[in-house]
């Protein structure tokens, strides 16, 4: 069935960018957020700001961009919403970073109601959402992916179907566990470089041409960390949540991850300096006036 109208639930930094991209690419977009303060920006981007029930019942496909698994479950099971909708099959593209157990349970409930759920967490930040250049890692049925492909292609530059339901969230947790560690190690390496007399800017020229490079050194350092703006749009609290989910997955699978456990402790112990509301790139702050440097 063709998709002409897309509903976006969650119009934060990521959701609003994706909704605006979808509107710009020709979809009729319905949007909902628990904060009425998001209405002006949504309407300026050509998005109809409606109630949750109106979005769930009026869209041909749905995109969720929500902070926690409990928020995704609340929307999926909302009274008078998807579980009672009978007019057509609706595929939910859940770009939230959630846990695979919740995803699989909700996918089964939606399937019983005649709908589909793709766990489709994204990488690329608010700029990627606004530009339609996200990377999407997808778990779910091939048939649901094919049905939702026009929407996914509109918001992404690359989409990888990594496996069945839950696989997308596993891939995202693995990715973000690495990012959490890389922020710490890259910040420490730049701190060492400057303490030894080599400016971080010059050290990065070598790192990014050699084998120590990462997205942290190549993108985040020059864009947000070296200038001291720390405005990537991703909160430290969300990274702490993703690290926690990754460690919970490790425990559930019997995986021993001693270094990752230490990374989790560092993220937890820095709350006084880097609050949950702060930008997550502050973890790589290497400057001398950083109290932890």
Q: Does residue 181 lie within any of the structural domains?
A: yes
Spatial distance between the Cα atoms of 252 and 89, rounded to a whole number of angstroms = 33
Residues 244, 265 within the same domain: yes
Specify whether the CB–CB gap between 55 and 48 falls below 8 A.
no
User: What's the predicted TM-score (pTM) here?
Assistant: 0.92
Q: Helix, strand or coil for residue 256?
A: coil
**Which among 135, 164, 193 is the end of a domain?**
164
Specify whether the CB–CB gap between 280 and 238 falls below 8 A.
yes
Residues 143, 181 within the same domain: no
Q: Is 90 exceeded by the pLDDT of residue 16?
A: yes
Alpha helices (H) along the chain? 13-24, 39-44, 52-58, 69-76, 100-112, 125-131, 142-155, 167-195, 200-207, 215, 236-253, 258-269
For the chain, the straight-line distance linking the first and the last C-alpha, in angstroms and rounded, comes to: 56
Residues 174, 148 within the same domain: no
Q: Does residue 10 lie within any of the structural domains?
A: yes
How many domains would you assign to the chain? 2
Q: Does residue 293 lie within any of the structural domains?
A: no
Confidence at residue 250, expressed as pLDDT on a 0 to 100 scale = 97
Residues 141, 11 within the same domain: yes
Residues 259, 273 within the same domain: yes
The sign of the dihedral angle between the CA atoms of 232, 145, 137, 120 is: positive
Q: Is 60 exceeded by the pLDDT of residue 121?
A: yes
Mean pLDDT, range 74-91, rounded to an integer: 96
Confidence at residue 288, expressed as pLDDT on a 0 to 100 scale = 60
**Which among 107, 137, 164 is the end of a domain?**
164
Q: Does residue 291 lie within any of the structural domains?
A: no
Mean pLDDT, range 134-163, rounded to an integer: 97
The string of pLDDT tens digits covering residues 255-276 is 999 999 999 999 999 999 999 9
Q: Does residue 292 lie within any of the structural domains?
A: no
Tokens of 252: 């559930």
User: By residue range, what is the domain housing residue 188?
Assistant: 170-284
CATH assignment at residue 75: 3.40.50.720
Give residue 169's pLDDT band: very low, low, confident or very high (50, 70, 90).
very high
CATH assignment at residue 280: 1.10.1040.10
Spatial distance between the Cα atoms of 17 and 169, rounded to a whole number of angstroms = 21
Residues 154, 175 within the same domain: no
The string of pLDDT tens digits covering residues 178-236 is 999 999 999 999 999 999 999 999 999 999 999 999 999 999 999 999 999 999 999 99
Q: Is 90 exceeded by the pLDDT of residue 14?
A: yes
Specify whether the CB–CB gap between 245 and 101 falls below 8 A.
no
Mean pLDDT, range 65-81, rounded to an integer: 96
The string of pLDDT tens digits covering residues 149-158 is 999 999 999 9
Q: Is 60 exceeded by the pLDDT of residue 291?
A: no
Confidence at residue 287, expressed as pLDDT on a 0 to 100 scale = 78
Residues 106, 133 within the same domain: yes
Give catalytic residue positions: 172
Residues 44, 147 within the same domain: yes
Q: Does residue 42 lie within any of the structural domains?
A: yes
Residues 217, 258 within the same domain: yes
Q: Does residue 49 lie within any of the structural domains?
A: yes
**Which among 164, 190, 225 is the end of a domain?**
164
Q: What percent of the chain has pLDDT over 70?
A: 98
Q: Does residue 290 lie within any of the structural domains?
A: no
């Amino acid at each position: 069935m063709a998709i002409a109208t897309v509903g976006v639930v969650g119009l934060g930094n990521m959701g609003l960018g994706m909704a605006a991209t979808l509107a710009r690419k020709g979809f009729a977009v319905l949007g909902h957020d628990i904060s009425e303060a998001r209405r002006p920006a949504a309407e300026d981007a050509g998005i109809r700001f409606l109630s949750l029930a109106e979005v769930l019942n009026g869209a041909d496909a749905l995109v969720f961009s929500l902070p926690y698994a409990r928020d995704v479950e609340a929307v999926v099971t909302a009274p008078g919403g998807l579980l009672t909708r009978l007019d057509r099959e609706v595929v939910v593209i859940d770009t939230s970073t959630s846990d695979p157990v919740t995803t699989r349970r909700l996918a089964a409930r939606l399937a019983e109601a005649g709908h589909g759920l793709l766990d489709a967490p994204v990488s690329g930040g608010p700029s990627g959402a606004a530009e339609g250049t996200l990377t999407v890692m997808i778990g779910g049925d091939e048939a649901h992916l094919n049905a939702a492909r026009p929407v996914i292609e509109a918001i992404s530059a690359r989409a990888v179907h990594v496996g069945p339901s839950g696989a997308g969230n596993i891939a995202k947790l693995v990715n973000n566990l690495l990012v959490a560690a890389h922020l710490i190690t890259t910040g420490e390496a730049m701190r060492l470089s400057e303490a030894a007399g080599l400016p971080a800017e010059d050290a990065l020229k070598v790192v990014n041409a050699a084998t120590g490079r990462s997205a942290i050194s190549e993108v985040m350092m020059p864009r947000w960390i070296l200038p001291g703006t720390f405005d990537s749009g991703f909160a430290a609290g969300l990274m702490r949540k993703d690290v926690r989910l990754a460690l919970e997955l490790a425990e559930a699978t019997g995986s021993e991850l001693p270094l990752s456990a230490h990374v989790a402790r560092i993220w937890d112990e820095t709350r006084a300096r880097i609050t949950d509301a702060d930008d997550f790139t502050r973890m790589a702050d290497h400057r001398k006036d950083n109290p932890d440097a």
